[in-house]
Amino acid sequence: MSSCRLSCWAVAALLAVQTASASAQDTIKIGVITDRVASAKFYAEPVTRGVELGAKVLNDKGGALGKKLQLIIEDDQNKPDVSAAKARKLVDDGVAAIVSNTGSPATQQAQTVSLETRTLHLTPANSADTLTTLLDNPYFFQTGPLASIQLATLMAYTKSRGFKAVAIVRDNSALSQSFADSFRQGLDKVGIKVALEEVIPQGATSAVANLQKVRAEKVDAILQAGVLGPEMLQFFRAYQQLGMKEPILGSYNLSIPAYLTMAKDLMEGVVFVDAFDLDKPEAKLFADVYVKEYGEPPSSLPAYGWDGIRLLALAMEKAGSLDKEKLRAAMQSTTSFVGAIGAKGASWGFRDGKRTGFDPQGAVVRVIKDNKHGPVVYAGQK
Amino acid sequence: MEDLPELIVSATASGCIYALVALAYLLILRPTSVINFAIGEWAATGAFIGVAVLTPLAWPRLEGPYWLALVAVLVILGLLGWLVEVVTVRPLIRRGAGITSPILALLGVLVIFRESLTMLFGADPLPSPPPFGFKRVALGPFAGASQQFLIIGATFAVFVAVWLFFERTVWGRAFEAVALNRRAAALIGINLRRVTALAFAAGAMVAGLAGLLMTPLTSAHYMMGLPLAIQGFTALVIGGVGRVEGALLGGLLLAFVEQLGARYLPIPSGLTLGFPFVLLIVFLFLRPGGLIAPREAC
């Protein structure tokens, strides 16, 4: 009796192993590192949603290399050490590639694993210019618009408006300070004076004093370099309360849709850098699919993930196998990829051995209208 | 020239928030000698309860009236404050632990509250509508957001009520007696356990009210507790830990220094971050008892 039961268990276990093995052979595993709880959650979650939608649409059409794409999603809490640990786990799980939708420092750290294990690694939305320069990792590719490209586009727009003197308003986070420094350098290059820089500290209960100073300087425009939601809300509240009319120009941080909820009806007319133009056919196609799936119009963020997973699938088809070196070479040879992200006429490519693929003319400036991310008012750096 | 009156309204409203947090500290500190740094997280809890009742952004998505949010905050925070005392402070006191033990235990409570809020409401800041809209209100030259005037009015009402409680009621006298001499108060029949529990409940209610009132200006977010705890504690030290009026005075002074300094001092605005700490150090060195000295035991 006992030996019979043992045999039954053994057969069941064998069948289970065989089924799992067959299932694994039918799919291509792709690891996704996202931030579900911490400070990068704002943009990480929507980008990951775009990856999921892209994978679903690709799978409906047969996937890649005749196999379905299977996403394994890990939360790194936007912590560099956790991100590297999650990358290691994904590699151990047998992923063919990793997509990092988290903060830039976390993506940087995860690269140590992709470099060591020669795993194709892509970040579709990170903007830090240093991600491909701090570590010489030939397996890592960046497709989102670099911070420098976005800044140059915003500065070109600022200059086109004829502004002579502006104020920079930021919070006291490291990222905001970095934005403000970049703004300063960019403004300096195009000959626009920074009349003052105001800091709204974390935990402030009012930004009235800061904006009174800005109002007193009679600047032509305000560059909003803040990244912390509550402090940005203070800024917009005080701006409204003081009846100010100076144009507000924002970083690409303002493309995060959560701000529209947080500062509802306070951001009318604010312009911000983005990389999404709904008049572009590829963007419209993406938006239509998104609306059909989720019943709401997308912001630009899911489009980054959508493009990222499509780019990976394309590289797999091009490589003809999941061989790590062939995958890397296929990705490196990408040219003229037109995605949902980017201005009309812009395309991606990793030319001349570069691993940052975004077209320098691909960023746009959009305006907020009716509490929504509205039309493009400027494109490129001309 | 309109700057100063506008700034006075803004600083008074901010000062009132600091004062309410300072009062929450004081209500617990006076009868128990326990500094409860979880006060900031209690304010954050009040803010999130307000969002949950007033908006569709968080469960139970009631979109209810403001009075309901107020009642919910006072009842839930009162219960939570009482529960914290029963679960963390009372057992330590019963076992004769030193005064630092409850303080450390309450630091643990701080972490538990913060993480619970993150799990329940997420990491995104959640906005909350003010009961009287976002319009600008002007009383002569003094102009500001309607919420700022509500904060000022509500804070003064709370302080008057608390002052009357201490000065005019038997329970208030019992609190004061415990604050002056715990052992003597026990000898004359005051129930120390009940006073301590009520102190925690009342402190939590006042902190929750501060969170509810400030949310339309700042949004509710899981990181809001710590700055409030620091600002409230600084206000308490400035005003003096012994008197209700001190908490109000300390809060107002701190906010005026912060905002007038940010507006008129010829220094980079980033440096204004240090104002509370500078004030704290100055007062600890020069006037450790604060602006208003406590009553002496007879």
Q: Do A172 and B226 touch (CB under 8 A)?
A: no
Q: Tens digit of pLDDT for each residue in A34-84?
A: 998 877 888 899 999 999 999 999 999 999 999 999 999 999 999 999 999
pLDDT tens over chain B, length 298 residues: 579 999 999 999 999 999 999 999 999 998 888 999 999 999 999 999 999 999 988 888 888 999 999 999 999 999 999 999 999 999 998 888 888 999 999 999 999 999 899 889 887 889 998 898 878 899 999 999 999 999 999 999 999 999 999 989 998 888 888 888 888 888 888 888 999 999 999 999 999 999 999 999 999 998 899 999 999 999 999 999 888 999 999 999 999 999 999 999 988 887 887 888 899 899 999 998 888 877 665 4
Query: Number of A:B CB contacts under 8 A?
Result: 108
CA atoms of A314 and A143, how far apart (whole Å): 14
Query: How many other β-carbons are positioned within 10 Å of the β-carbon of residue B100?
Result: 11
pLDDT at site A309: 97
CA atoms of B149 and B153, how far apart (whole Å): 6
Give the CB-side neighbour count of residue B136, counting CA atoms within 13 A: 17
A199 → closest Cβ in B214, B227, B270: B270
Q: CB within 8 A of B97, min separation 6: which ones?
A: none
Q: Coil, strand, or helix at residue A256?
A: coil
Q: Bigger pLDDT: A323 or B60?
A: A323
Contacts 24+ apart (CB under 8 A), A317-321: A317/A64, A317/A65, A320/A65, A321/A65
Q: Do A213 and B262 touch (CB under 8 A)?
A: yes
Q: Bigger pLDDT: A353 or B50?
A: B50
Q: Bigger pLDDT: A150 or B296?
A: A150
What are the b/e assignments for A2-13, b being 16+ CB within 10 Å?
Answer: eeeeeeeeeeee
A12 pLDDT more than 70:
no
Instruction: Taking residues A139-159, report their average pLDDT.
Output: 91
Sheet holding A248-250, edge to edge: A193-200, A165-171, A221-224, A248-250, A271-274, A364-369, A372-379
Residues on chain B touching A204 (C-beta within 8 angstroms): 218
**A20 pLDDT band (50/70/90 cuts)?**
very low
Q: How far is A108 from chain B (nearest CA, A)?
A: 23
CA atoms of A106 and B107, how far apart (whole Å): 29
A14 pLDDT more than 80:
no
Residues on chain B touching A203 (C-beta within 8 angstroms): 224, 226-228, 230-231
A365 pLDDT more than 70:
yes
Q: Tens digit of pLDDT for each residue in B243-257?
A: 899 999 999 999 999
Q: How far is A221 from chain B (nearest CA, A)?
A: 19
Please say whether the beta carbons of A358 and A378 come within 8 A.
no
pLDDT at site B1: 59
Instruction: Taking residues A98-122, report their average pLDDT.
Output: 96
The residue of chain B nearest to residue A266, with distances taken between CA atoms, is B134
**A167 pLDDT band (50/70/90 cuts)?**
very high
- CA nearest A261: which of B58, B57, B223? B57
Instruction: Taking residues A256-285, report their average pLDDT.
Output: 91
Q: How far is B193 from chain A (nearest CA, A)?
A: 35
A209 → closest Cβ in B124, B263, B270: B263
In chain B, the largest separation of any two C-alpha atoms, in whole Å, equals 61
**For domain A11-145+279-349, which CATH number applies: 3.40.50.20, 3.40.50.10860, 3.40.50.2300, 3.40.950.10?**
3.40.50.2300
Task: Work out the percent of chain A whose per-residue pLDDT is above 90.
Answer: 71
Domain positions in chain B are 3-286
Among B8, B17, B259, most A C-beta atoms within 10 A, so best to mutate, is: B259
A209 and chain B: CB distance < 8 Å anywhere? yes
Give me the count of residues in chain A: 382
A210 and chain B: CB distance < 8 Å anywhere? yes
A353 pLDDT more than 70:
yes
Among A208, A211, A256, A267, most B C-beta atoms within 10 A, so best to mutate, is: A208
Q: Do B270 and A172 touch (CB under 8 A)?
A: yes
Output the average pLDDT for chain A. 90
**A22 pLDDT band (50/70/90 cuts)?**
very low
For residue B57, give the H/E element and its range. none
Instruction: Name residues 47-106 of chain A within 8 A of B (Cβ).
Output: none
B17 → closest Cβ in A201, A205, A230: A205
Q: CB within 8 A of A103, min separation 6: which ones?
A: A35, A39, A40, A44, A78, A126
Domain range A148-274+366-379, CATH class:
alpha beta
B218 and chain A: CB distance < 8 Å anywhere? yes
Among B12, B20, B219, most A C-beta atoms within 10 A, so best to mutate, is: B219
Instruction: Name residues 246-285 of chain A within 8 A of B (Cβ).
Output: 258, 261-265
CA atoms of B81 and B73, how far apart (whole Å): 12
Helix axes B100-121, B225-239, angle to 10 degrees: 140
CA atoms of A360 and A150, how far apart (whole Å): 8
Instruction: Taking residues A8-16, report their average pLDDT.
Output: 54
A173 pLDDT more than 50:
yes
CA atoms of B242 and B295, how far apart (whole Å): 7
Q: Which residues pair with A123 in a beta bridge?
A: A142
For B3-286, CATH gives 1.10.3470
- Tokens 């943009």 locate to A43
Fold match flag (A11-145+279-349 vs A148-274+366-379): yes
Q: Do B227 and A210 touch (CB under 8 A)?
A: no
B118 → closest Cβ in A37, A240, A241: A37
Instruction: Name residues 178-207 of chain A within 8 A of B (Cβ).
Output: 197-199, 201-206
Residues on chain B touching A42 (C-beta within 8 angstroms): 124
